[in-house]
Structure 1
Amino acid sequence: MPLTATRLRKRPRRNLITLLCGVLPILSGLGILYLQAERTLEQQSQQTSEELVGQIELMLDNTALAARELLPLAGQPCEAVKLALREQVTRRPFVRSTNLVWDNTLYCSSLFGAFEETVDPIAYHQGTLWLMNGNPITPDTALLIYRLNEGQQGALATLDGYHLANVLRLIGGETRLLLQVGPNWLTADGKVRPAPLPALPVARSNLTSSRYAFNVAAGFDEGEIWRYMAREYPPLFSLLIFFGVIAGTLGHWLQKRTTSPSHELQRALEAGEFVPYLQPVVQGDSKRWAGVEVLMRWNHPKEGLVRPDLFIPFAEHSGLIVPMTRALMQQTMHLLAPLVPQLESPFHVGINITARHCQNLELVQDCREFLEAFPPGVITLVLELTERELIEPTPTTHQLFQHLRELGVKIAIDDFGTGHSSLGYLRQFNVDFLKIDQSFVAMIGVDALSRHILDSIIELSGKLDLGIVAEGVETVEQSNYLAAHGVNFLQGYLFGRPMSGADFITALSAIETPDAAPLYGQPQSD
């Protein structure tokens, strides 16, 4: 990598000095990173707990509302009220069944009609909630029962544990989440277990709902701090080694012969070495090109083409990602403008943005200039929110997204289902598209759990009226599965690898005729 190759070449020449002078900064740096990782995990655990409590409270709101509306009917004959019970199941999201109780006897069910069973109030935590491992109909599916009682009248509404497990999986990510109701607790595998709760030794967070009788616990297994550092801090480890190498007498020597990562990126930006590579996005049904995602590549004069994961973290850390993205948009604009007659309107152009882009309103002007280069309606600009840095919902951020919305710019959440803030973004920002991470797509036909998560994301997008893009489509089986489940757009090697501007023009010309479109349904070689 251009940012690290020089330091790796120089280190063997001064091994002794590196060993003597580099130990202290490396060890102190590791200590600082350890504390930072521990603090980050604690914040992540607390935030995840708050998100989980909020989501479960929303689900219980529907359940409680169903019970509240049915309570006045308790005591009436079952034949007269069973349709009302079933109506609540139909109308209320997440509600699986409803029941009426008279004098602690369940006598009418939305599932069975007239039915008689004794209700034990002691089984319900604080008299309202009971988390159980299933019933005779579905013994392997957890249930959360909400009880509402006034005098002899009572109403029960059941929340399907499948939805609870999905929320635990989608919100949790790397965090272990537990839902506890009384002596019982539920994990992301959908199984209910009795107390005590398992140990969560790292960054444990406990949060009790202020509205319902449940609490959640979030945390990590032993050793997660080191795993987090190994997963998130490799560039920083390189920097620690770098500081060790330049310590002492080598400092001046290396300072004259190498540059910092930000200086090297600045030099490359001024030299126009960051170029756009375009990967096709096709329509789920017809497989015709619907747009492209614009990816940044570094065309280094000595190292050749550099992958983005080797320099984007440095660009984000230094703040250069903003002018680099601006340059990328301008190059893409000049590339696509002459191709307008060949583009199917509206042609989607996706560009990644980070938290750095949301600190001021400069992005609005960049998008306006981009869109003004094309006739109205030809191009739909889609900004994809990445989660390497968390985008805070500040007044400036909300003003930015409002202006972008007025310009007609669409917002997508990239790699949905993997980042801990994905559901938070759905709540905080006006999103148009979800991009399913390729890790879920790769499990189609392989892993049932991942496929269930994929199906849940697709179902969620439908309920929220959001478009959906599946990334990493590499096989015909994956393509057919996603198309059959109503996924709007597909992206992956099956339809085309990221390509340079010249290759994109050639490929676009090749599919101008209708008969050429199926060519992009086959895998392409490197």
Structure 2
Amino acid sequence: MPGDRLIQVINEHFSLKEKIVRNVMLPILCALFVFLSGMLIINWQLWHMARSNYAETAAASTRKIEAILAEAVSAANTAKRVAAKGCTDTGQRELGSEAALKPHLRAIMIEQQGRIVCTSLPGNGVLIVRPQTLPNKGLMLLPGNRLVNGIPVLLFQMPVAKGRVIVSVSDAHLRDVIASAANNTGLRLVVGDKAIAGAGDVTGWPPVKWAGSSTASAHFPFSMAWQPPAFFSLTRLLHQGWSVILLILALSAAVGILIRRYRGKSSSFEDDLRKAIIHGEIVPYYQPIVNGDTGGLYGVEVLARWKHPKSGFIPPDVFIPIAERSGLIIPLTKNLMAKVVTELKPLLPKLPDGFHIGVNISARHINAPSFIADCRVFGKGFYGKEVKLVLEVTEREPLIDNPHLVENLNALHNAGFVIALDDFGTGYSGLSCLHALAIDYIKIDKSFVNRVSEAKDSTILLDCVIDLAKKLSLHIVAEGVETKEQLDYLNRNQITLLQGYYFGKPVSYKEFIKVILSKPLEKVSL
């Protein structure tokens, strides 16, 4: 393929937009994700702390109101004794003294048979308008219109003979408790169907729209209602969490920089790989496939090797995954095919009939629009010689999920290409794959062959694979043969085509010529 055309093909698979997404947008998005996640966590923590503080404020206010009402209970017990003796001047002075000694109380009154008979107020005055109309509740809130001075009041009542004791709590002390809340809790004292807030107004309860919480007293029939904090508050976040926000910002920036550097290295490696393809640094190496019985050369698997001008040979397991992920595997394979044709064409007279030439093909390449044309160009390079061009399909991606992939492989099979499943048993292969595709060969992965030993049951998995292939009338190539013991086992099981370091490692074109000259020429019947 001409150099300009090759560059054009490569550039088709890498656009400026893709580079921007990989090298700029991805680090920014990752940094943003870390920042937002951190902000969400710190916001939740601050909200949880604020809610706990609100609840504690309500609980503390509840305890303060309970302490005030405990004074009212004590005063009511004193008034109960006075009522039993009758409201004398001494009794009235005792009520006045009790009210004076208990700072939170406003007045103590004894009501019998619908009228106030004794109070702590000077001159036995009356505080409440129509006290006889008050319901017999232990605790209640009265609005200002029910009192002579028009000021709301909290009443505690205790029954006595022929009436009741009424103790009033100063609204000023109630408002002080409510207003002393250190945060904006919207705190209210709720008694029955009435509530009083810090401003001192008594309102009906609950309001039409109320989604707050309440803390009930364990000793008296009242509760403290409060409005929970908003889940998100920018003011709270900046005021209480600014130091953590700075830390999250630094962490997010560090993550973005690290990913940018990592992606930069990856992108740099991809750029190096792209240049390597253009400059012809990716070269074919040939590993022999032999007849295990006779040692005759039956074929080769073409393997990509990258000879970097500075770093030397770069392992395939380093650059092949990047090539597949980036799409460079397509121009890499096309370039490799062209070099194989150039190198092997002069050797065709030396090769036996039926000689296998296997090339690894990725699923991404199979799905490419140019795939069938690429393979046909490859096949035309060996026109006039009876060779078997084997497309070794790698299984790192599902094969049968894409109808276009299946259609392309079956079309090439009908055109005379041999289809093999490479590294069988280690990827996405299965019976459905073997039935859907026109498979001629399976290449047993070396991980199965390595299990061959004298140990009992060491070959159970390999036996199953061999039995499956035979039942499906599939030819087998065993990879990774390294020992005489493995060779003998495979020969006993009539596995004819073998490949591995026992017969020869992958070699360059010049070394491969020596291999051809050293091996007996046999017509390949498989």
Give TM-score, length-normalised by structure 1: 0.49
Larger gyration radius, structure 1 or structure 2? 2
